[in-house]
Amino acid sequence: MSKTVEANFDGLVGPTHNYAGLSVGNIASTNNQSAPSNPKKAALQGLTKMKSLHDMGLVQGVLAPQERPDVHSLRALGFTGSDADVLSKAAEEVPFVLASCASASSMWTANAATVSPSADTADNKVHFTPANLCSKFHRSIEHETTGRILKGVFGSEDHFSHHPALLSTAHFGDEGAANHTRFCHQYGEQGVEFFVYGQHAFDSSKPKPEKFPARQTFEASQAIARRHGLSESKTVFAQQNPNVIDQGVFHNDVIAVGNRNVLFCHEQAFLNQAEVYTNLKQAYGKDDFCIIEVPESKIRVETAVKSYLFNSQLLSNPDGSMTIVVPSDCLSDQQVEKYLDKLVAADNPINEVKVFDLRQSMNNGGGPACLRLRVALNQAELAATNSSCLIDDQLFTTLNQWVEKHYRDRLIEADLADPQLLIESRTALDELTQILKLGSIYQFQI
What residues line the site for ligand SUG (CB under 6 A)?
19-23, 26, 29, 103, 105, 108, 110-111, 136, 139, 178, 250-251, 253-254, 364-366, 370
Catalytic residue among 228, 370, 381, 413: 370
- Least distance CB 371 / ligand SUG (angstroms): 8
70 Cβ contact partners less than 8 Å away, ≥ 6 residues apart? 101, 102, 141
Asked if residue 101 lies in contact with residue 138, where contact means CB atoms within 8 angstroms, the answer is yes
Q: Which is nearer to ligand SUG, 250 or 402 (CB)?
A: 250
Question: Nearest approach, Cβ of 223 to ligand SUG (angstroms)?
Answer: 20
Which C-beta is closer to ligand SUG: that of 111 or that of 181? 111
Closest CA to 61 of 47, 42, 44: 47
Length of the chain: 446
Q: Helices 419-435 & 393-406, crossing angle to 10 degrees?
A: 160
CB of 115 to ligand SUG, least distance (A): 14
Can you tell me whether residue 61 is helix, strand or coil?
strand
**Residues 183, 263: contact at Cβ < 8 Å?**
yes
What are the helix (H) ranges across 308-349?
A: 334-345
**Residue 370 is a catalytic residue:** yes
Residue 152 has φ and ψ, to the nearest 5°, of -70, -25
Which parts of 100-239 are beta strand (E)? 113-116, 126-130, 160-162, 180-183, 192-197, 235-239
Catalytic option among 17, 138, 251, 266: 251
Q: Are 191 and 119 within 8 A, CB to CB? A: yes
Q: For ligand SUG, which is the closer residue by CB, 152 or 365?
A: 365
Compute CA distances 195 → 214, 235, 238, whole Å: 14, 8, 6
Select 108 or 160, whichever has its Cβ closest to ligand SUG: 108
Lateral strand order in the sheet of 192-197 = 180-183, 192-197, 235-239
Catalytic-role residue among 67, 175, 219, 381: 175
Whole-angstrom Cα distance, residue 300 to residue 296? 5
Question: By C-beta, is 212 or 442 nearer to ligand SUG?
Answer: 212
Taking the least distance from each CB to ligand SUG, the nearer of 180 and 426 is 180
Strand order in the sheet with 322-327: 313-316, 322-327, 350-356
411, β-bridge pairs: 37
A 10 A CB-CB count for 289 gives 19
Identify which of residues 18 and 116 has a Cβ nearer to ligand SUG in the complex: 18
**Please, what is the minimum distance in Å from the beta carbon of residue 104 to ligand SUG?**
8
Q: Tell me whether the omega of the peptide bond preceding residue 69 falls within 30 degrees of 0, making it cis.
A: yes
Task: Determine whether 143 is an active site residue.
Answer: no
Q: Which is nearer to ligand SUG, 23 or 239 (CB)?
A: 23
Classify burial at 92, counting beta carbons within 10 Å of its beta carbon; exposed 0-12, middle 13-18, buried 19 or more: exposed
162 part of the active site? no
Choose among 105, 104, 100, 113: nearest CA to 178.
Answer: 113
State how far the Cα of 208 lies from the Cα of 239, in Å rounded to an integer: 9
The residues that are catalytic are: 175, 251, 370
